[in-house]
Amino acid sequence: MSEVVTRFAPSPTGHLHIGGARTAIFCWLLARHFGGRFHLRIEDTDLLRSKQEYTDSILASMRWLGLDWDGELIYQTQRAALYNQYVDRLLEDGKAYWCSCTPEEVEAMREEARAKGLKPRYNGCCRERGLGPGEGRCVRLKTPQVGRVVFDDLVKGVIAVDVAELDDIVIRRADGMPTYNMAVVVDDHEMGITHVLRGDDHVSNTPRQIVIYEALGLSVPRFGHVPMILGPDRQKLSKRHGARAVIEYQNDGLLPQALLNYLVRLGWSHGNQELFSMEELVRFFDGTSLNPAAAAFDPAKLEWCNAHYMRELPLSELAALTAPFVVQAGLGEVEPDRLAELCRMFRERANNLKALAESFRPLLVPAEILEYAEKDAAKHFTEAGKNHLHALAQTFTACEPFDHANLEAALNGYVADNGLKFKEVAPPLRTALMGFMGGAHLPEIMAFLGREECLARLRRAAA
């Protein structure tokens, strides 16, 4: 195959959402699989809704997901002159014409067609008038009047559209700006795009774009239209379903590899495999096996995927990623080694970095402000429980060094020497240390806290 060149073409009218992110991932993977190029084009021609801050945010999300792009960023607003060169070429070749019909006149033509039970369309009245440029005039393509536009969609298979459906498409608006379809064709051609993968909300634009390619005598790229992502109830995906911008998932402590893996699987498959390294995705993703049916977003599976990647990460890396969330939770800066130790103890218990950071709270606040879960305190800080805590404080004082092995031996010794059962001692101890009946292995918790903090907790609970 000749070089594969793909692009992602977001409109900067909002942050990057998961639907767009998935399209971007597919485009990126296709290019990387074939050793080709992946470009990024900012479709910012909607001047009212496009904002630089959204472009910046989209780029930040792309970088966070690890989707690097080749070459310069392209902004459509900087290319109006280029698009108009192509419009002029079509005019010179007699493939397009000036049209002086006002929007009201065009609407009346549509109404007339509708009244006759026909498809509403422009009636072509300026086609052969030979008008030149002028105030209020747009340029229309002389769309072929008979025939079909046929393309073999990478996702949906062969799609055929009768040209009668297409109308004489406006390619330059009366204000001099090229239209969306015109700009996209020129850009995709100029950028050497071989494969256009995009959301299927654009599938109706594709035949229009193909007639423009053909009028210009340009080769037509391959198209693939991926279905929308649906909510778990198979309705249009919305915030209510947990569908948010990529940046919100990032702020919630998802790992980029988890979001990426989850989104790729939503619409593409490779046997039954669920989890893929980036290297595997690049190896396996060749633009086939894209599912033509819309997939439903499943927040629980995304969490599962994230939990998996949290468990896979080297502890030092997980600690570094969790550090900002610890600070954000108001727990301050924690030394990397101690943070790694916390991650080791708690990572099986959290599905995202934010929850992981929060799970450290009982071990990072000073004894005097540790919060007790009322129910657990009432149940375990009984007279007997307090007596054990008092005695344990004395037992542990003697541990030297104050480490896991010594603490474990001391705790087991206390239980055995007094003819007790572990379950009489562990619950008050756990509640005293953590504030509730949760957390990691007791000797580990105590070793982490250190002598001072540990004894302060036992004394406070015993009092």
The residues annotated with a catalytic role in the active site are: 239
Cβ proximity to ligand GLU, 44 vs 341, nearer residue: 44
Q: How far is the CB of 13 from ligand GLU (least distance, A)?
A: 8
Question: 10 Å Cβ neighbour count for 313?
Answer: 17
Nearest distance from C-beta of residue 439 to ligand GLU, angstroms: 46
Candidate list 5, 6, 11, 356; residue touching ligand GLU; CB under 6 A = 11
Nearer to ligand GLU, 202 or 390 (CB): 202
Residue 58 C-beta: closest distance to ligand GLU, Å: 10
Interstrand relation of 295-296 and 229-230 (parallel, antiparallel or unpaired): parallel
195 vs 457, beta carbon nearer ligand GLU: 195
Stretch near ligand GLU under the rule CB under 6 A, chosen from 113-121, 198-206, 242-250, 291-299: 198-206
170 φ, ψ (degrees, to nearest 5): -70, 130
Contact between 270 and ligand GLU by CB under 6 A: the answer reads: no
Q: Find the part of the chain contacting ligand GLU (CB under 6 A) among 7-15, 56-64, 263-271, 284-292.
A: 7-15
Shortest gap between Cβ of 252 and ligand GLU (angstroms)? 24
Q: Which is nearer to ligand GLU, 43 or 167 (CB)?
A: 43
- What's the token pair of residue 275? 């989890």
Q: Is 43 in the site for ligand GLU (CB under 6 A)?
A: yes
| Comparison of 7 and 380: residue with beta carbon closer to ligand GLU | 7
Region from 6-14, 29-37, 95-103, 294-302 binding ligand GLU, contact rule CB under 6 A: 6-14
Quick one: CA torsion of 204, 206, 207, 212, rounded to 10 degrees?
130
Identify which of residues 9 and 399 has a Cβ nearer to ligand GLU in the complex: 9
CA distance 351 to 354: 9
Nearer to ligand GLU, 140 or 225 (CB): 225
Taking the C-alpha atoms of residue 194 and residue 428, their distance in angstroms, rounded to an integer, is: 67
Dihedral angle computed from the Cα positions of residues 4, 9, 10 and 11, in that order, rounded to the nearest 10 degrees? 180
- Report if residue 79 touches ligand GLU, rule: CB under 6 A: no
Judged by CB under 6 A, the residue of 4, 5, 9, 254 near ligand GLU is 9
Residue with tokens 């422009």: 122
**Which of 4, 6, 10, 256: binder of ligand GLU (CB under 6 A)?**
10
Output the smallest distance, CB 169 to ligand GLU, in A.
15
Q: Of the listed pieces 5-13, 250-258, 292-300, 319-327, which binds ligand GLU according to CB under 6 A?
A: 5-13
Torsion of CA 7, 11, 17, 19, to 10 degrees: -50
Is 357 a residue that touches ligand GLU (CB under 6 A)? Answer: no
- Give the x/- contact pattern for ligand GLU in 202-241, rule: CB under 6 A: x---------------------------------------
Which of 305, 298, 361 is closest to 332 using CA atoms? 361
Q: Does 198 bind ligand GLU (CB under 6 A)?
A: yes
Nearer to ligand GLU, 10 or 362 (CB): 10
Query: Of residues 150-189, which lie at the interface with ligand GLU (CB under 6 A)?
Result: 184
Quote the least distance from Cβ 223 to ligand GLU, whole Å.
Answer: 9
- Name the residue with tokens 């593409």: 268
- From residue 438, give the alpha-carbon distance in Å to each of 24, 155, 181, 433: 41, 48, 59, 10
CB of 328 to ligand GLU, least distance (A): 32
Q: Binding residues for ligand GLU, per CB under 6 A?
A: 9-11, 43, 184, 198-199, 202
